[in-house]
Amino acid sequence: MNTRLRRRLGLWLFMALILLMTACQTEQAGSSEGGKTEAATGEQITLKFSHFWPPQHFVQTGVFEPFVEKMSNLSGGRVSVDIYPASALGEPGAQYDMAMTGVADIAVSVHSYTPGQFPLVSVMELPFISDSGEKGSEILWKLYEEFPELQDEHAQTKPLWLFTSSPGQLLTVGKPVQSIDDLRGMRIRSPSPIMNKVIELAGATPVSMPMSDVYDAMQRGVVDGTFAPMPELLAFNLMDVTDYVTIGNFYMTTFFAVMNEQVWEGLTEEEQQKLEELGLSMARKGGQAFDDAAREAREALADSDVEVYELSEGEIAEWMSQLESVIEGWIEEMNSKSLPGHEIYDRAVRLNSELN
């Protein structure tokens, strides 16, 4: 073999070795993409679950703790979850960003705590959408599944489920409220920008504050009342400072339960599939927890000095006719942002009728 041939053969062998090494490295990198190497899928992992309610709150005991057990079961014990309640990892309004950045692996909070970030979700805050938390939660989750624009609002995380509170009612001090005109001149704590508009339309003054401050505000006369779901009567001891409750199912508060995207990608395909199959049932479970707590509050009201007035269908229709401009304004605002406001509102109303 001459010298030139030996050199060529040596060069070919060297190039073949380089290609083989590159292929091996590429295969190794590809197998670990998204954290799904065989080793990773078998590793034990512990996720941080953050929310703002106290640890004894019915949502933690009735919804989050059962979810932790489900997470362990569906992963065959591979994935465990530690719950961090009472804003231990961050403020209520920071929960979504915490899930997005990885401060928390799973986070739950209220959509309206980050105003403007979830415009379409606020359809559930419009007057008289639904009369139960379970039904409202199913409506919200189905809207999320059907409308890509709603999915886009949560695109920086992986939503596990969305849910709603039981309907919000009106708690007042010193003066009962039956008609919308009865609100005129009152100062009412508002839970959301949409309810600000409802209160203003009634000739009252909306006051924004956390629910934890409402007891003192009602006791000291800073506000004359608050819109709030019935469970808050017990959760925040508001029954002690409330004289009248008007039941009209005025609005709903919406919540997200979302997972960090990288954590989601690190789960096995089977774990992801099982979690996605839990979406609707977990949404319903969240709403059911509020409904159960609302029934407990209603029973407690029967043994108290608080007067309860429940609006009739005719009275609700009268409230609705006067609040029509709030709904129309919301639809116009969504449409101005090139969002399907009219379609989503109509679909929410139809779903409510179908679920009756």
User: Does one domain contain both 158 and 183?
Assistant: no
Give the pLDDT band of residue 5 (cuts 50, 70, 90): very low
DSSP tag of 267: S
Beta bridge partners of 258: 107, 159
User: Does one domain contain both 78 and 182?
Assistant: no
98 in a structural domain: yes
Of 37-51, 53-67, 93-107, 230-244, minimum mean pLDDT range:
37-51
Q: pLDDT > 90: what percent of the chain? A: 84
Task: Compute the distance between CA of residue 17 and CA of residue 9 in angstroms, rounded to an integer.
Answer: 12
CA distances from 45 to 76, 78, 81, 154, 278 (A): 12, 6, 8, 25, 20
Task: Compute the distance between CA of residue 72 and CA of residue 49 in angstroms, rounded to an integer.
Answer: 13
Amino acid 210: pLDDT: 82
Amino acid 37: pLDDT: 39
Amino acid 344: pLDDT: 98
Give the pLDDT band of residue 41 (cuts 50, 70, 90): low
Cβ contacts of 263-269, under 8 Å, gap ≥ 24:
263/47, 263/102, 263/105, 263/106, 264/158, 265/34, 265/35, 265/36, 266/34, 266/35, 266/36, 266/40, 266/45, 267/75, 267/79, 268/36, 268/41, 268/75
Q: Measured between alpha carbons, how far apart are the two ends of the chain, in Å?
A: 90
Q: What is the pLDDT of residues 11-35, one digit of tens each?
A: 444 444 444 444 444 344 443 344 4
User: Does one domain contain both 312 and 176?
Assistant: yes
User: Does one domain contain both 334 and 187?
Assistant: yes
The count of other CB atoms within 10 Å of the CB of residue 76 is 11
11 in a structural domain: no
User: Does one domain contain both 52 and 98?
Assistant: yes
Task: Compute the distance between CA of residue 247 and CA of residue 350 in angstroms, rounded to an integer.
Answer: 23
Amino acid 47: pLDDT: 98
Angle at 190 between CA 173 and CA 296, to 5 degrees: 65
Measured on CA atoms in the order 96, 100, 104, 107, is the torsion positive or negative? Answer: positive
Last-in-domain residue among 236, 265, 291: 291
92 in a structural domain: yes
Task: Compute the distance between CA of residue 64 and CA of residue 51 in angstroms, rounded to an integer.
Answer: 10
3 in a structural domain: no
Q: What is the DSSP string of 103-139?
A: S-SEEEEEGGGSTTS-TGGGGGGSTTS-S-HHHHHHH
Tell me which residue range forms the domain holding 121: 43-164+254-291
Q: Provide the CATH number for the domain around residue 322.
A: 3.40.190.170
| Cα–chain center distance at 278 | 15
Q: pLDDT > 70: what percent of the chain? A: 88
User: Does one domain contain both 181 and 322?
Assistant: yes
Q: What is the pLDDT of residues 200-233, one digit of tens each?
A: 999 999 999 888 899 999 999 999 999 999 999 9
User: Does one domain contain both 239 and 273?
Assistant: no
User: Does one domain contain both 276 and 198?
Assistant: no
User: Does one domain contain both 189 and 246?
Assistant: yes
- Which backbone phi and psi does 309 adopt, to 5 degrees? -125, 125
CA distances from 278 to 155, 182, 240 (A): 19, 44, 39
192 in a structural domain: yes
User: Does one domain contain both 234 and 342?
Assistant: yes
What is the side-by-side order of every strand in the sheet holding 244-251? 205-208, 187-190, 225-229, 168-172, 244-251, 307-310
332 in a structural domain: yes
Task: Compute the distance between CA of residue 165 and CA of residue 214 in angstroms, rounded to an integer.
Answer: 18
25 in a structural domain: no
214 in a structural domain: yes
Q: What is the 3-state secondary structure (H, E, C) of 4-51?
A: HHHHHHHHHHHHHHHHHHHHHHHHHHHHCHHHCCHHHHHCCEEEEEEC
**Number of separate helices (H) and strands (E) present in the chain:** 15, 11
Q: What is the pLDDT of residues 280-339, one digit of tens each?
A: 999 999 999 999 999 999 999 999 999 999 999 999 999 999 999 999 999 999 999 999
Task: Compute the distance between CA of residue 140 and CA of residue 280 in angstroms, rounded to an integer.
Answer: 10
User: Does one domain contain both 245 and 319?
Assistant: yes
Amino acid 212: pLDDT: 83
Q: What is the DSSP string of 223-246?
A: -SEEEEETTHHHHT-GGGT-SEEE
Task: Compute the distance between CA of residue 22 and CA of residue 29 in angstroms, rounded to an integer.
Answer: 11
The total of structural domains in the chain comes to 2
Last-in-domain residue among 291, 316, 344: 291
Beta bridge partners of 168: 229, 251
Q: What does the mean pLDDT of the chain come to?
A: 90
Cβ neighbours for 240, distance < 8 A, ≥ 6 positions apart: 215
User: Does one domain contain both 274 and 130?
Assistant: yes
